[in-house]
């Protein structure tokens, strides 16, 4: 809960308790208390912004006045009423019970649906960001009926910013209503549950001046999961950028929660048949095309940025890629297909795509991160049809760690634990057996160690030293 949210809830509970339990009060006291409560609520609305989980607390602001009015009225008992003593005891018990129930709801709702914060990035750099709307005139958009449509992508770039950079940090979602609608469609849950994303701020400052601490910075391409977003791994992206990387996030149009183009058009997620490998492999080929196109555009920025921000500042000789789920599979395809990608991380992505990992391995630096629950689901024999599909998909993992690469399996981990989504509510975190913040810290530490070594030539601090079984993960290398 935010500061003024805590203040308004605690003050109102104390105020109601005082009114109920202490009788020798002037009429002026409760009125003053109500006025203070109203002022706190006003400040909260102006500074933090009002939201639906706080509705019970807002109503509690008016409750002291109601109780005060009832008590004034009860001073003159009508003929036929119960004796004052008996009536006052019953009333006190009922009001106390209602106050306890109502106060509990007022406290629990904002706790279950908080305005979460991202951990402050540990690196020395501040974070700048800029967004692009890029159209690939060489590729048709196959996911719409209009044959004249060309593939169009929203791309966000995060970069190390100058230490003196100032400005308001960006919201996690600039169009919260659109994304709440998108999340509602994807998860088949009420839109109201996702409105908190609209009040969450990141650590990125739009159009901040790029840092001059280094002449250039390695580039990382990020590909989200199916129905995800380019900012779905903000916890990880900000950490990498703060340590001196430029991260380029892609919204894979019609496969993302929502793509909002610069002219206001919105492309929501379009479901796909996930029960067979054919359609998934075909869609992945489109995502590989997206990544190649975005990498082409990034090269143009590095050579001659019209805004002069990235000209000469992107180290295109040291480019990596990472992704979650379907984006992780795309990272594997790219590291095999595109010579520009020097190293890649796949976070819990089934290996969809046309290319297969050869027996000798990838022959490029690669780190696979898996959730134990995801591997268990692929190996499950509960359903014969799904079991056959899972067996075929698991065969694609046969040589994933061959050739000196790494495979980390995180224990008590779920597929969506690799993203920001569980930060939205403790209710989602019940799906995650382990602590989500600790899991994200583990992901960040090993992602940074991997890219630092293979793109910045720094000594390995964790990967090589921690092969084997550990309480929270297993790390193997063949």
Min mean pLDDT across 27-36, 229-238, 343-352, 410-419 is at: 27-36
For residue 93, the model assigns a pLDDT of 79
Least confident of 49-63, 156-170, 242-256: 49-63
Dihedral in degrees, nearest 10, Cα atoms 187, 189, 190, 191: 0
Residue 78's pLDDT is: 43
- CA atoms of 357 and 403, how far apart (whole Å): 11
**How much is the pLDDT for 183?**
96
| CA distance between the termini of the chain | 47
- Residue 324 CA to residue 236 CA, distance in Å, equals 11
Among residues 105, 100, 116, the alpha carbon closest in space to that of 1 is found at 116
Q: Which three-class secondary structure state does DSSP give residue 438?
A: helix
pLDDT band at 159 (very low <50, low <70, confident <90, very high): very high
> Which tokens belong to 193?
């549950």
Q: Residue 131: beta bridge partners?
A: 156
Q: How confident is the model over 345-368, as a mean pLDDT?
A: 95
Report domain extents, the chain.
3-112, 126-477
Q: What is the pLDDT of residue 374?
A: 93
φ/ψ bin of 244: left (φ > 0), alpha (ψ from -120 to 50), beta (otherwise)? left
Residues 6+ apart with CB under 8 A from 218: 244, 245, 246, 315, 318, 319, 320, 451, 455, 456
- Give the Cα separation of 136 and 117 in Å (integer): 36
Question: Higher pLDDT residue, 88 or 262?
Answer: 262
Sort strands 201-206 and 126-140 into parallel, antiparallel or unpaired. parallel
Helix axis angle, 384-395 to 277-304, nearest 10°: 40
Which fold, 126-477? Rossmann fold (3.40.50)
Count Cβ atoms within 10 A of the Cβ of residue 384 and give its class: 0-12 exposed, 13-18 middle, 19 or more buried: exposed
pLDDT computed for residue 223 by the predictor: 98
The tokens describing 12, both together, are 């109102």
Q: Locate 36 and state its tokens.
A: 């203070």
Can you tell me the distance from the alpha carbon of 323 to that of 226, in angstroms, rounded to the nearest whole number? 11
Going along 386-428, which residue ranges are E strands? 406-410
Q: How far apart are CA 82 and CA 331, in angstroms?
A: 77
Instruction: Look at residues 364, 388, 366, 365 and name the one whose alpha carbon lies nearest to residue 378.
Output: 388
Q: Are strands 366-371 and 201-206 parallel, antiparallel or unpaired?
A: unpaired
Whole-angstrom distance, CA of residue 76 vs CA of residue 70:
11
Considering only CA atoms, which of 102, 19, 90 is closest in space to residue 58?
102
Beta bridge partners of 126: 161
Under a CB-based contact definition with an 8 Å cutoff, are residues 405 and 360 in contact? Answer: no
Q: For 278-330, what is each residue's pLDDT tens digit?
A: 999 999 999 999 999 999 999 999 999 999 999 999 999 999 999 999 999 99
Would you give the DSSP letter of residue 104? H
User: C-alpha distances in angstroms, 350 versus 333, 392, 394, 414?
Assistant: 12, 11, 8, 14
Please, where are the H alpha helices in 244-352?
Answer: 277-304, 326-337
Is the pTM above the cut of 0.85? yes
């Amino acid at each position: 809960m935010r500061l003024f949210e805590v203040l308004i809830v605690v003050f109102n509970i104390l105020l109601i308790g005082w009114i109920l339990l202490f009788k020798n009060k002037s009429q002026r006291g409760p009125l003053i208390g109500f006025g203070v409560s109203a002022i706190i609520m006003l400040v909260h609305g102006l500074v933090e912004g009002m939201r639906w989980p706080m509705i019970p607390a807002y109503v509690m602001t008016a409750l002291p006045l109601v109780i005060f009015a009832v008590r004034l009225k009860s001073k003159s008992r009508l003929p036929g009423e119960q004796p004052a003593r008996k009536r006052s005891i019953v009333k006190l018990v009922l009001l106390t019970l209602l106050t306890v129930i109502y106060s509990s709801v007022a406290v629990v709702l904002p706790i279950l649906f908080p305005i979460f914060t991202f951990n402050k990035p540990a690196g020395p750099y501040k974070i700048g960001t800029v967004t692009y709307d890029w159209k690939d005139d060489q590729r048709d958009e196959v996911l719409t009926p209009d044959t004249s449509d060309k593939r169009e992508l929203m791309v966000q770039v995060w970069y190390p910013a100058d230490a003196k950079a100032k400005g308001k940090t960006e919201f996690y979602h600039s169009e919260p209503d659109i994304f709440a609608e998108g999340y509602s469609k994807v998860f088949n849950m009420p839109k109201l549950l996702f409105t908190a994303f609209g009040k969450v701020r990141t650590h990125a400052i739009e159009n901040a001046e790029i840092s001059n601490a280094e002449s250039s910075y390695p580039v990382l391409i990020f590909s989200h999961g199916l129905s995800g977003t380019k900012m779905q791994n903000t916890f990880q992206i900000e950490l990498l950028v703060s340590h001196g990387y430029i991260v380029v996030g892609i919204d894979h149009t019609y496969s993302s929660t929502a793509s909002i183009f610069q002219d206001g058009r919105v492309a929501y997620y379009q479901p796909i048949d996930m029960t067979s490998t054919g359609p998934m492999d075909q869609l992945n080929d489109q995502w590989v095309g997206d990544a190649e196109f975005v990498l082409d555009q990034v090269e143009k920025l590095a050579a001659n940025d019209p805004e002069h921000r990235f000209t000469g500042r992107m180290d295109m000789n040291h480019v990596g890629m990472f992704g979650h789920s379907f984006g992780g599979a795309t990272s594997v395809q790219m590291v095999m297909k595109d010579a520009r990608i020097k190293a890649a991380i796949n976070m819990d992505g089934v290996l969809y795509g046309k290319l297969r990992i050869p027996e000798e391995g990838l022959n490029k630096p690669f780190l696979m991160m898996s959730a134990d629950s995801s591997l268990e689901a692929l190996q499950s024999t509960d359903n014969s049809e799904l079991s056959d599909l899972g067996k075929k998909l698991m065969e694609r993992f046969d040589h994933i760690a061959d050739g000196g690469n790494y495979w980390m399996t995180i224990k008590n981990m779920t597929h969506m634990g690799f993203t920001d989504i569980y930060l939205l509510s403790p209710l989602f975190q019940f799906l995650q057996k382990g602590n989500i913040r600790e899991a994200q810290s583990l992901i960040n530490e090993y992602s940074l160690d991997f890219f630092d070594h293979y793109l910045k030539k720094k000594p390995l601090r964790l990967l090589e030293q921690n092969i084997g079984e550990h309480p929270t993960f297993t790390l193997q290398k063949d």
